[in-house]
Amino acid sequence: MTAEAEIIAGLQGAGLTGEGEVILEPLTGGVSCDVWKVETPTGPIVVKRPLPQLRVAAEWLAPIERGTSEVRWLRRARGVKPSIAPEVLAELPTGHAFAMRFLPGCPVWKDELMAGRVDVPFAGEVGRGIAAVHAATAHNEGDRADFPNDEMFRALRVDPFLLYVAQHDVELAPALTALADDLSGRKIALVHGDVSPKNILVSADGPVFLDAECAVYGDPAFDLAFCTTHLLLKAVWSGDARLSEAAAALVAAYRTGIDWEDAEDVLLRAGKLTAALLLARVEGKSPAPYLTDPDHKRIVRDQARALIRAPSPLGELVAHWKRTLP
């Protein structure tokens, strides 16, 4: 039986497809999983199946058990606020695949940004949404026990974004290695691990977070840094000042939700992580695909390297981020 046939059988076994023919319509855009849309008698659903080898140039292996971690994150986030994550309908008995509700009429935030439709207040809503999950799960032993995914987070985030660059950059290796060790050692709150515009839908009720494959109980500063990184990269790519404003709104809104530790400590760690992630998106295993102009790469690389040498709190980093060459 093919993998697709196994998924169809799993959907039928879960009672999601009715009696008619089941057609898997492939959806594009992901490097870490297969995604299909399926029409059912009760409306469309989405099926995800994680890949053991990610679709990037460098070898990048990751455990497929991350599909189960994503399901747990989605359900936990809906417990904090139902509108910020799609409903999981069933876990399927093949390859850690699962089915969730399809949300029509909700564009992907990345597509909106790349088309020049920059909604600065929406970026603030994203910051508040991330912070709400972090605040609800901070110092919670039950959540920590449910997400013992250190090995997975290392394979998907620490190794490819921090240590891969460290292995190829002798000067910055000590700082990046220390940052990786610190990130791996902090156990504070439930981390999504991939808060990127491509994983956020724009709904009438605010942001909807998808693709929590990297979920781990760890340092919440990572989620803030990861999303800010994407906005700053797009600001360089487009030259649009509104993207820098969106990054500032994201950070400011997130800051208001920090109640589990001193906000300045979180923002300094987020600043360090953002600097490293910016460099990783031009020199790591997963370079930003739209950042093809050599001048754009130089703008990001030069600023990121300087910021790794002399870290700044995230708000200050964003305020001084340059979108063009001097």
pLDDT tens column, 151-183? 889 988 999 999 999 999 999 999 999 999 999
Higher pLDDT, 37 or 63: 37
Q: Would 33 be classed as within a structural domain?
A: yes
User: Does position 41 have pLDDT exceeding 80, yes or no?
Assistant: no
Mean pLDDT of 115-142: 98
Residues 68, 163 within the same domain: no
235 touches 321 (CB < 8 A): yes
**Helix and strand element counts for the chain (H, E):** 13, 9
Which of 43, 78, 101 marks a domain boundary?
101
155 touches 61 (CB < 8 A): yes
- What is the residue range of 230's domain? 109-319
Q: Would 326 be classed as within a structural domain?
A: no
C-alpha dist (Å) from residue 43 to 18, 48, 203: 11, 17, 18
Strands 189-191 and 88-91: unpaired
We report the CATH number of the domain holding residue 172 as 3.90.1200.10
Which of 101, 133, 153 marks a domain boundary?
101
Residues 79, 174 within the same domain: no
User: Does position 64 have pLDDT exceeding 90, yes or no?
Assistant: no
Residues 14, 117 within the same domain: no
Mean pLDDT of 217-228: 98
Higher pLDDT, 303 or 43: 303
Q: Would 324 be classed as within a structural domain?
A: no
Q: Say how many domains are in the chain.
A: 2
The dihedrals phi and psi of 27, each to the nearest 5 degrees, come to: -110, 150
Percent over 70 (pLDDT), the chain = 91
The strand pairing partners of 201, in sequence order, are 108, 208
Q: Would 139 be classed as within a structural domain?
A: yes
Residues 139, 90 within the same domain: no
